[in-house]
Chain A
């Protein structure tokens, strides 16, 4: 304790010393006098002392093993409560669904648009979560599959007039094929090496799109892509926004449903095992090639589908939408929320997309605040906001739980 105080004191004195020239001395060039603002020094000293002390206290608390052992994270407690009380779970799902459905009634087009984007990122996050969170393959080129989907629709629509609903599965399938194409050369790679190759893959796709003018119209992109068609209805701009929003709500629910099932299936378990220990996983009879390729292909499928939606929603795309930054944002969603956790990824996407949007009033500071929050997160909760929660099996009569 006294040691902590001493350390904080030391930090405070250092900072007082370091900031002395700028914070204390003020030269008045008109009267050629020097102002000594000693109060500033006191503020900095006290501020740094308190800040450093709190920081140390938090770090200590985090590393303290006795606290850690019986401490069940809030997110785990909520999840296990919901798993044990299906009624409560249904109720919560119902409330959330009702809120989602009523949302456009109370909000303007701007808000609906932001929310639609957030839903898209939830799906992208859930797709990448298969690759990174479940199978443990660090993929930094995920946006490439998003681009494949977007360009598939843009090109097929502008050249051949194919409709959104026809291209949607084509875009997904094409992205899956690209996922396998990327998967093959990187089968043997892990961790950093895998990250570098996937990063390169993402950049290659973007550069091809940027430079192959005859095919993709280069940096100027493709404009005039048709919006999705809803039962042939003539929709106004606002109605179209609403319609796309509802479509995304439906997609999100379907994705959550499917990813949840995948996660608790034979193949989902194999992904987890692959993430936990590749050698043991193979020795227990799981084929590495198949399992990895399946993760890449399925993850890419969702990116491809979202790519098609993105192209249809904005009706204009160019390679600038598919930079590394985009991959980084999607990856942050997965890491921030909690790898391998569906509620985590949803929360992560909402925070990553909505927070910067609603923090616009902080103008330039918003990115700094945001970056600071991310750093704090990684120091204090490296496992993400929502801890991974494993399902319990039960055999005595309640067999449907195994299916649920």
Chain B
């Protein structure tokens, strides 16, 4: 499979409410793709289906495996999806508030480590080496995001913008092939948003991973993404390059009153 993620006819019902309605989407390696749409369009629900938090009602979610073949991950537990190489962040920040910043990132590393109970109890050479290596790698990730100074702080003591960055750091630690960012710029001021734009592009370039992001900040979306999907009322109403989307009458109608030329 040449695409890193391929979603076909994804549908998610909550009782009588169809939150996602046969959505198709694909992401190629090293691509930055945006998923936009008005509030309640079903974007977060789409993410939750892809990352295994919800089991979709219908449709296929295919992820390319290391050998290149496609694996259908519907109904996989979230941790299995993460092991397959999809790392994510949350719209409403979900850090581990009473753990240090470094420990938060090390949780992301968890699925790439192998120490068992006996290793923990007797702390043999292999376990010690693994722990040290993990801590160092996580520290490097923090350095990349400029959070290394706060390494030993509790996550809950970080300023808001840094908490968003820490979520990205934690997702990066899972060694993903693709990052799913749910409104990474929410609550940031314009200055921080510009920095975030650079940061996301830099992550894509240095880590060579694909990025799928949900965002309401049109400036960020238009600047950053190579392709854009637009959802409204659970359905995909458009997809294409930023230029296509900007001039698409359907999209303008869905966003009526909102400024997408920003």
Contact = CB atoms under 8 A, between A and B. Distances in A.
A272 B110 contact: no
B98 A272 contact: yes
Contacts of B120: 261-262, 265-268
Contact of B123 (A273, A395, A403): A403
A288 B52 CA distance: 13
Nearest to B171: A284
Contacts of B117: 262, 267, 294, 298
B152 interface: yes
A284 B99 contact: no
Nearest to A266: B115
Contact of A286 (B99, B111, B152): B111
Interface string A382-404: 00000010111101000100110
Contacts of B171: 284
Interface in B105-151: 106-108, 110-113, 115-117, 119-121, 123, 127-128, 131-132, 135-136, 139, 151
A277 B82 CA distance: 16
Nearest to B174: A285
A284 B83 contact: no
A357 interface: no
Nearest to B102: A393
A242 to B, nearest CB: 29
A285 B111 contact: yes
A287 interface: yes
Interface stretch (B88-96, B191-199, B240-248): B88-96
Contact of B96 (A258, A268, A276, A285): A276
B51 interface: yes
Given A266-B110, A273-B99, A287 B77 contact: yes
Contacts of B79: 282-288
Say whether chain A's binding surface is mostly helix, strand, loop, or mixed. helix
A208 interface: no
Nearest to B51: A283
A269 interface: yes
A294 B83 CA distance: 20
B148 to A, nearest CB: 11
A301 to B, nearest CB: 10
Q: What is the interface residue range for chain B against chain A?
A: 35 or more
A276 B103 CA distance: 12
A292 to B, nearest CB: 13
A265 B174 contact: no
Contacts of A268: 120
A249 interface: no
Contacts of A285: 78-79, 82-83, 108, 110-112, 174
A276 B112 CA distance: 21
A81 B86 CA distance: 41
Nearest to A403: B128
Contacts of A298: 117
A270 interface: yes
A273 B107 contact: yes
Contacts of B111: 284-286
Contacts of B174: 284-285
Contacts of A270: 107, 110
A281 interface: yes
B63 to A, nearest CB: 14
A266 B100 CA distance: 14
B97 interface: yes
B200 interface: no
Most B CB contacts (10 A, CB to CB) among A265, A266, A268, A272 go to: A266
A395 B107 contact: no
B53 interface: yes
Nearest to A290: B79
B147 to A, nearest CB: 14
A281 B90 CA distance: 12
Contact of A284 (B98, B107, B135): B107
Contacts of B94: 277, 279-280, 283
26 contacts: A266-B113, A269-B107, A272-B96, A273-B96, A273-B99, A276-B95, A277-B94, A280-B95, A280-B96, A283-B79, A283-B82, A283-B94, A284-B108, A284-B170, A284-B171, A285-B79, A286-B111, A390-B99, A392-B152, A393-B139, A393-B152, A395-B136, A395-B139, A399-B132, A402-B131, A403-B131
Given A266-B110, A268-B120, 8 more contacts: A262-B121, A265-B119, A277-B95, A283-B94, A285-B110, A286-B107, A392-B100, A403-B131
